[in-house]
Amino acid sequence: MANSGRVRVQKFGRFMSGMVMPNLGAFIAWGLITALFISTGWIPNERFAKLVGPMLTYLLPLLIGFTGGKIVHGIRGGVVGAVATMGVIVGADVTMLMGAMIMGPVGGLCVKKFDKLTEGKIAGGFEMLVENFSAGIIGLLLALISNILIQPIMTAILAFLTIGVNWIVYHKMLPFSAVFIEPAKVLFLNNAVNHGVLAPIAVEQVKETGKSVLFLLESNPGPGLGVLLAYWMFSKGTAKASAPGAIIVHFLGGIHEIYFPYILMQPILLLATIAGGFVGQLTFVITGAGEVATPSPGSIFALIAVAPKGGLFPVLLGVLTSAIVSFVVAMPFVKKNAAKMELEDGDDMLEMAKKSVQNMKDIGKTENIYFACDAGMGTSAMGASKLKKMLKEAGKTEIKVEHVAIDAIPPTAQLVICQKSLVDRAKQTSPNAQVFGINNLVNSKEYKEIVETITNANK
């Protein structure tokens, strides 16, 4: 029951973030234009600053609405989702990102239901006529409904949430959110928390004050950096050897998923990230830090790029303090378990890797392998690159190795490799594939055994 509940939460979070992640380039473009050209920006320009309002009011919600509809029912669902979203946008006094997250999928679902009801019942030659007019009529009705009914409801909800967040910030209580945000990240809900919950409220604050501290809560790389530094300095074996590379990927590349396995190896280290997140957020609040847009991925370069004019030092100070505190709290736990980890890193660990791959012996000839993670862009891409290189060295260039989001694994997949905590979701998405869960997609002893098993099977 616990696993099924976790899977449902992860899937819902993935669906929410899935509407935003493909459009992050547009959010970054809007953020850079805001940071550069508004009256308080780096290089104020009245003409270019006129882009800020329309992009925030229309472009970003429409992109989210289209993507949400497309996820449900392809391009046709995306078009209806965008039309439905337009209804919730027009006349609203607030940015309707949350409204788009509702109306986009609703539009896709409605046209999907219509297509299912009429499947095989349309006379030959009338397919295009019915498809176009049905999409138009459904879009029309949803736009009207969303304008009259959904818009006031979403405006009230967003106003309530904004008032609540402002109250929390004013009373210096925001740092306590680290107690929820840091564990949620390790459960692979980081994108859902950032893009599905925090961003819609943050953009309203940007409209009013030119920046928002909410953009920094999930994207702060400091807590994860502190844990990785502790592993680098005080651990032993593979964990110590892989930590410097993980630091580069995490802090400079912005792929926070890279440090999740290090936490999962010692769950007590959640205390370190929570403490680091708390102090970092406290620093942000005290110094008045904020960003003008979502720094995604959460690279230090992204944080610098979307910092407001005159607001870079508070951002960097919050990252620094969170990293220091996380490092100090993690240090004794990592040192205590260093000897144990070195022991596990020897021949016994290699034997465990061999045994864990035993169930692949009956896989038969392998033609494709898919690495899956929550967003399909971070650790899965790195794991796929590593295994692809190892297969090439083994002369198995004919095997297709790709990386995908956990909910987008194709039905033709033979072997799916993912984090152990995502195995249940992978099995639900691709029940016919063999799903193999490992602790660390980037550095794993299982890879060598997987390559040998596949090589022998393909002979």
Average pLDDT (354-374) is 67
The burial class, CB within 10 Å (0-12 / 13-18 / 19+), for 432 is: exposed
Nearest Cα neighbor of 406 from 442, 370, 438 is 370
Looking at residue 108, its pLDDT comes to 94
Chain mean position to CA 402: 18
pLDDT at 136 over 50: yes
At 1, the pLDDT band (50, 70, 90 cuts) reads: very low
Q: 277: which residues sit within 8 A by CB, 6+ positions away?
A: 175, 178, 181, 182, 217, 220, 222, 223, 322, 326
Nearest Cα neighbor of 382 from 264, 250, 273, 270 is 250
pLDDT at 351 over 60: no
Whole-number Å distance between alpha carbons of 237 and 340: 10
Show which residues are catalytic: 373
Whole-number Å distance between alpha carbons of 26 and 17: 15
Enter the tokens of residue 56. 């925030």
Nearest Cα neighbor of 227 from 247, 208, 211, 210 is 247
Beta partners for 402?
370
Q: What integer best gives the mean pLDDT of the chain? A: 83
At 224, the pLDDT band (50, 70, 90 cuts) reads: very high
Whole-number Å distance between alpha carbons of 256 and 326: 15
Looking at residue 218, its pLDDT comes to 86
Report all structural domains of the chain as residue ranges with CATH numbers, in order of start.
174-345 (no CATH), 356-458 (3.40.50.2300)
Would you call the peptide bond into 297 cis, given omega within 30 degrees of 0 as the criterion?
yes
Give how far Cα 35 sits from Cα of 97, 211, 393, 451, Å.
20, 9, 46, 48
Angle at 402 between CA 405 and CA 438, to 5 degrees: 70
The answer to whether the beta carbons of residues 431 and 413 sit under 8 Å apart is no
Please state which of the ranges 28-32, 126-130, 347-351 shows the lowest mean pLDDT: 347-351
Instruction: Write out pLDDT tens, residues 327-350.
Output: 999 999 998 887 665 545 444 444
Instruction: Write out pLDDT tens, residues 41-86.
Output: 889 999 998 998 899 899 999 999 999 999 999 999 999 999 999 9
Dihedral over alpha carbons 382, 386, 388, 393 (to 10 degrees):
160
Strand 400-405 to strand 368-373: parallel, antiparallel, or no bridges (unpaired)?
parallel
Nearest Cα neighbor of 330 from 245, 263, 260, 264 is 263
Instruction: Write out pLDDT tens, residues 108-123.
Output: 999 999 999 988 888 7
Looking at residue 380, its pLDDT comes to 76
Instruction: Write out pLDDT tens, residues 226-252.
Output: 999 999 998 887 778 778 888 888 898
Average pLDDT (202-219) is 85
Looking at residue 9, its pLDDT comes to 66
The burial class, CB within 10 Å (0-12 / 13-18 / 19+), for 400 is: middle
At 94, the pLDDT band (50, 70, 90 cuts) reads: confident
Higher-pLDDT residue of 261 and 276 is 276
The percentage of residues in the chain with a pLDDT greater than 90, rounded to a whole number, is 30
The percentage of residues in the chain with a pLDDT greater than 70, rounded to a whole number, is 87
Average pLDDT (288-316) is 89
Angle, in degrees to the nearest 10, between helices 237-247 and 312-344: 160
